[in-house]
Chains A and B, each alone.
Chain A
Amino acid sequence: QKEVEQDPGPLSVPEGAIVSLNCTYSNSAFQYFMWYRQYSRKGPELLMYTYSSGNKEDGRFTAQVDKSSKYISLFIRDSQPSDSATYLCAMRDGGSQGNLIFGKGTKLSVKP
């Protein structure tokens, strides 16, 4: 079993839809959870950063972490064509190295 599992999609939704992106993981030592957005031929950019379990909201984006289920989610409300990108979950433990373990990314397409 890979450390981080993420459905690669592709996922296609109409503009205005609510999008749900998810990752599961196996390492219970993970404490820091991130979502990165990567546009085509660009580097990943940090979208959301959460520590431990709970919810975090930033504009149209909400990140949820359920450590008991080893499951994280990213919700996008009122999705826009500009949200079309690949979304990568990433996580790390609380150790000193800080190396991120990434999911494979979910490719999202929001159709006008």
Chain B
Amino acid sequence: DTAVSQTPKYLVTQMGNDKSIKCEQNLGHDTMYWYKQDSKKFLKIMFSYNNKELIINETVPNRFSPKSPDKAHLNLHINSLELGDSAVYFCASSHSIDTQYFGPGTRLTVL
């Protein structure tokens, strides 16, 4: 059973498009996260979210927005995609601030 799953695994799109990445966790966790891993493998937090609050990394452009339809899902919407958005995006989840479990990643390529 996959604990944290993401779709799609690969996403190739043109500049200016709007796209979404979906994340689901079946661990019963209350907190979910989105990370961006750039070409140099540097993993950086974008958002953390539980049913109480959304914490946004101030460096994240407002073209990125998380949407949580329920506790098991945290989707990432990206508007007006730019070349610099190309990266691998990882979803993660945890129980409160405990150990984080990562999904397999979505490799986004913006042409």
Give chain B's interface residue range (CB within 8 Å of chain A).
20 to 34
Number of interface residues of A (CB under 8 A): 25
Query: Does the CB pair A104–B40 fall under 8 Å?
Result: yes
Q: Specify which chain B residues have a CB less than 8 angstroms from the CB of A98 in the assembled complex.
A: 31, 48, 94, 96-98, 100
Question: Is the Cβ of B48 less than 8 Å from the Cβ of A44?
Answer: no
- Count of A-B residue pairs with CB < 8 Å: 56
CB atoms of A104 and B55 under 8 A apart: no
Q: Which residues of B contact A95 (CB under 8 A)?
A: 97
What per-residue 1/0 map shows which CB atoms of B9-52 lie under 8 Å from chain A? 00000000000000000000001010000001111110010000
**Residue of chain B at shortest CB distance from A95:** B97
Closest 3 CB pairs of A and B: A98-B97, A43-B102, A102-B43
Q: What residues of chain A have their CB less than 8 Å away from a CB belonging to chain B?
A: 8, 34, 36, 38, 41-46, 49, 86, 88, 92, 95-102, 104-105, 107
Interface residues of B (CB under 8 A from A): 4, 31, 33, 40-45, 48, 55, 90, 92, 94, 96-105, 107
